[in-house]
Structure 1
Amino acid sequence: MLTLYGHPLSSYTQKVLIALHELGTDFEFRHIDLGDESDRALMRSVEPMGRMPALREGDLVLSQSSLMIEWLDRHHSGPQRLLDPDPDASLPARQWDRFLDFQVMQMMQQIVDARIFMAEGAEERVAPFARGKLDLAYAALDRQLDGRDWIAGRFGLADCAAFPALFYAGAIHPFADHPRLSAYFKRLVARPPVQRVIEGARPYYGWFPFKDGIAARFL
């Protein structure tokens, strides 16, 4: 049985959930509560750093969301594919997947970490740099989406990464002045697998430290 370990609010868990729903894959979702020591111990046993998510099938355990989606696409796909089977043709999707994780998700996470975990005043020092990087990333995505409905031409790996990255980053630093990116995000939100992820996370949105930015659009 295929098992995904994670939490509905976790951005990288959401990324893998979108892929699973898109592929129509049967799986068990093991909801992890990191406030529970037994669940923390479980995550340490299946993921090297104890971080969410992790994917298990039999003796195989995978971490890193992009790797999980690539493996699912090879071994659990039907007519729907999330990557072109030609390694060269799939490079743009892989590139934009990495872009979204590093240039959007991680920049957003720096601001969140500064507010939650760092000393007083850290957010004021960290946020201007991270917001500047987000502006550059938003502009690059807006250019990439010129003439495209999906980031790499067809819905796939990069778009699975895009929803949680843009959902949380947009709650902190909106991208409304980028029209193609804004229209793309609306297409993402309308997609049924993404709707399933939104509904699964809805009870936990209040935990996000910038929840007002989510409430304005989704609550």
Structure 2
Amino acid sequence: MSITFYGHPFSAYCKKVLIAFYEHDLAYELRQIDFEGSSALDEFSEIWPIKRMPVIVDQGRPVIESSIIIEHIDQHYHRDVRLVPQDSQSALESRFMDRFFDNYISTPQMTVVFDVLRDQQDRDAYGVAKAKELLETSYEWLDTKMADRTWAIGDDFSMADCAAGPALFYAHWTHPIDPKFGHIHAYRNRLMVRPSFARCIEEARPYRHLFPLGAPQAD
């Protein structure tokens, strides 16, 4: 039985999980969610009333939240690839870096984007300023962290890199990463040519018009 994937190719958190699917060469059936009314949306809402993507259904069992989904497929469908290291200390580092990219890169990035989507009278200039401040602090910390690393936890590609790809991809579109952070730019470039993430980028290319700040041609 194939896995059913509820999500959208342009979503950062869906990309995060799809990277893991592609690393494992795992097949799935996409039920695309566009929030404009469809049988897929009705199914999705029934499974997860909070309606945050992605969600998968594996053999009748829903699995919710991107990091949990990655751990689930890593446990049950790994081949020669393990995205959560078997060494306990490395596993903790992978989970920590996963949370870093979700909480301190993706979350403030989305704060800036969602603010643009609001009506003018509902915008939050203070919240956006604080989000950009957090991004700058996160960039500085990450640049130092990546000075001697190929991937987020060292030499091995892990769950943390699944989170990093879309986080840094969209963050640079939203609040450009200063050229002085050369280690981040090099890491982002490595992520973009990783076959699993490169596939995600291409699959989402037709939806770039949805990005409210404008999508750069360079990526």
Report the TM-score when normalising by structure 2. Answer: 0.93
State yes or no: 1:210 paired with 2:213. yes
Deviates more, 1:137-146 or 1:182-191: 137-146
Matched with 1:144 is 145
> How has the CA–CA distance of structure 1 residues 188 and 57 changed in structure 2, closer, same or farther, with 3 Å as cutoff?
same
Matched with 2:184 is 181
> How has the CA–CA distance of structure 1 residues 138 and 40 changed in structure 2, closer, same or farther, with 3 Å as cutoff?
same
Any residues of structure 2 matched to 1:124-135 within 5 Å, and which?
124-135=125-136
What RMSD over aligned residues (CA atoms) do the two structures have, in Å? Answer: 1.5
Deviates more, 1:174-183 or 1:117-126: 117-126
TM-superposition CA deviations, 1:22-56 (whole Å, max 9, x none): 11112222222211253332211122412211011
**Structure 1, unaligned runs of 5 or more:** none
In the TM superposition, residue 118 of structure 1 has moved relative to its aligned partner by 5.2
Opposite residue 190 of structure 2, the aligned amino acid is R
Aligned length: 216
Opposite residue 77 of structure 1, the aligned amino acid is H
Matched with 1:200 is 203
State yes or no: 1:191 paired with 2:194. yes
Rounded Cα–Cα distance in structure 1 between residues aligned with 2:138 and 2:78: 31
Report the TM-score when normalising by structure 1. Answer: 0.93
SS of 2:89's partner is coil
Rounded Cα–Cα distance in structure 2 between residues aligned with 1:119 and 1:125: 14
Rounded Cα–Cα distance in structure 2 between residues aligned with 1:136 and 1:125: 17
Opposite residue 70 of structure 1, the aligned amino acid is E
TM-superposition CA deviations, 1:88-134 (whole Å, max 9, x none): 33000100100100001000111111111354372533221111100
Any residues of structure 2 matched to 1:149-188 within 5 Å, and which?
149-153=150-154, 154-175=156-177, 176-188=179-191
Residues 43, 51 of structure 1: 8 Å contact kept: no
Percent identity over the alignment is 35
Rounded Cα–Cα distance in structure 2 between residues aligned with 1:127 and 1:50: 24
